[in-house]
Structure 1
Amino acid sequence: MTLTRRAEWLVLLLAAISLTGAALLGHYALTHHDHATTEVGVDMNGRPVQLDPGAELPPEQHRQQDAKPDGAGRFIVPSVGLDVPLGTMNEVAGSVVPPGFTAAYRITNLGTPTAPEEGTVYVAMHSLRRGAVGPGNYLFATETGTSNVAPGAIIDVSDTPYVVDRATTIPKSDLPNDTTIWSDIPGRLVVLTCLEKPDNTPAVDNFVITAHLAPPYNSAQQ
């Protein structure tokens, strides 16, 4: 299936709640539950985090994701102090559900997985709320919904540097059909997370950063 066809029904399912009873990001509406659900990981401060009830993929789709939380290098945004492992995963049946909360994930079956000059590289990650912190939280200011990553900033994806062009907010319902996001453009990076809200209610928008390939860059020098 082509990227354009797949994007027609692609939905980011980045849904989670913390063990403290706090709702985190999500495509699904999130509500407080008095009972605990299965722990699946921790946030960047070591706090236990769970997928929101209903967000867990069926076992076969989970297997087809072939998700790995690291092994593909690092995802680094020096200007905001973000430096996390870069994992890999597949989009499966129209869903992107990163399995962890402390890594960024390159979507290997969208755009180009290994040759950035030939197409778009897509990276997804969780952002969290109620005091929990995921990689996506570094990218925007929760109180204002504005980007922390300015145009011209560098994003390093597995030692491949990109220069940020813009950041935008897209309603979750509009994302699957947004051709500006899902067009496979050579040398482009698209970073996706959920835009958390200051009142800690469920996210209704996605936060998207787009960037283009830069000259050779050594992140350690920044």
Structure 2
Amino acid sequence: MGRGWRGAAARRTCNPRGPCCRVAGDARRPSRPRLSRSLSRRLTVPETLPSVPWRGPRHGRRVGTDPRRGPQRRRFVTLAALLALTVSALSASAPFDLASSGSDVAVEVPDPAPVATPEPEPEVEAPLVVPAATPVRVLIPAIGVDAPIEVYTDAMVAAADGWIDPTTHDVVSWWQGGGTPSSDPDNTVYLYGHVSRLEAVFNYLHSVVPGTEVTVVTEAGEIVYVVQEVLEPVGKEALPDDPRINAQVPGRLVLIGCYREPDQGRRRTTHNIVVIAHQVDSAK
């Protein structure tokens, strides 16, 4: 019996979760009180417990339990309200939509620079075409000439033994055997006039200079010439053979008059004054 007790006292049980071993039935530790059977029956846990529906784990905290959501939440709501009021005021006062412009600064758009409109070039009237026609008048404003023109035919030249002698001192003779004034001439036009110690149409022909304008009026219009050259006095006998005078040059006008010396007096003239002009325009 003694051995059995010692064996029971010496038997140890090991608690795998504890740090050491405990002696079972150690006389030095009081034994755990035991319940009576009647009390055990009353305290018996029922085999089945009433079922409680599973609501899942709760997350977060209940409203009002977080101490950080008090004053900070009120400040956040206040700032959001102020920001909304500011945006509304800017939208009402801005000259254009902030959402579409992307800026809250009004920009003044400058007026476009005026574009210079080129002035139209003045229309230049094309010269009128003046067909060949008999000349009726000659004008040389620089020396006061405004005289009628008569036709001097080849028959009249032959009757005068090859000379051209205008019928009066105030008329200019047009030699019909030369060219006829026109916009498209084919020869030189020859006009002759008297020079006298009395009044005569070409008394001042010797005083013209290059650039002097001469207008010949015809039955079809006007032909304008400009003086190019004034020749030295040419002897009357040499004049028909002078190439400067008898050359056939289209658009040229040759004015011929007698040349008088300062002391000519009543003596016959022996030379001619010759003025050469060129056509520049068909005026009318």
TM score, norm. by length of structure 1: 0.58
CA distance in 2, matches of 1:118, 1:184: 8
Superposed CA RMSD in Å reads: 1.8
Q: Which of structures 1 and 2 has the bigger CA Rg? A: 2
Task: Identify which of structures 1 and 2 has the higher relative contact order when contacts are C-alpha pairs closer than 8 Å and 6+ apart.
Answer: 1
Residue 277 (structure 2) pairs with residue 211 (structure 1):
yes
Residue 245 (structure 2) pairs with residue 181 (structure 1):
yes
Q: Which amino acid aligns with 1:152?
A: G
Structure 1 counterpart of 2:215, from 133, 140, 156:
156
CA distance in 2, matches of 1:72, 1:178: 25
User: Aligned residue for 1:85?
Assistant: 148
CA distance in 2, matches of 1:86, 1:138: 18
Residue 207 (structure 2) pairs with residue 122 (structure 1):
no
Deviation at 1:180, TM superposition (A): 1.6
CA distance in 2, matches of 1:78, 1:112: 23
Q: 1:203 to 1:137 in 2, by over 3 A?
A: same
Counterparts of 1:58-207 in structure 2, within 5 Å, are 72-91=135-154, 92-93=157-158, 94-109=162-177, 111-115=178-182, 117-129=185-197, 132-140=198-206, 148-158=207-217, 159-168=222-231, 169-199=233-263, 200=265, 201-207=267-273
Structure 1: runs of 5+ lacking an equivalent: 1-70, 141-147
Deviation at 1:138, TM superposition (A): 2.2
Deviation at 1:72, TM superposition (A): 3.7
CA distance in 2, matches of 1:87, 1:157: 13
Q: What SS does the aligned partner of 1:202 have?
A: coil
Q: Which amino acid aligns with 1:117?
A: P
Whichever structure has more strand as a proportion of its residues is: 1
Query: Are the equivalent residues in 2 in contact too, given 1:86–1:106 (CA < 8 A)?
Result: yes
Q: What SS does the aligned partner of 1:98 have?
A: coil
Deviation at 1:83, TM superposition (A): 0.7
CA distance in 2, matches of 1:208, 1:149: 11
Query: Are the equivalent residues in 2 in contact too, given 1:90–1:96 (CA < 8 A)?
Result: no
Query: Are the equivalent residues in 1 in contact too, given 2:139–2:147 (CA < 8 A)?
Result: yes
Number of residue equivalences: 138
Q: What SS does the aligned partner of 1:73 have?
A: strand
Aligned-pair identity (%): 30
Q: Which amino acid aligns with 1:135?
A: V
Deviation at 1:193, TM superposition (A): 0.6
Counterparts of 1:14-53 in structure 2, within 5 Å, are none
Runs of 4+ in structure 1 off by over 6 angstroms are: none
Q: What SS does the aligned partner of 1:117 have?
A: coil
Structure 2: runs of 5+ lacking an equivalent: 1-133
Q: What SS does the aligned partner of 1:79 have?
A: helix
Deviation at 1:173, TM superposition (A): 2.1
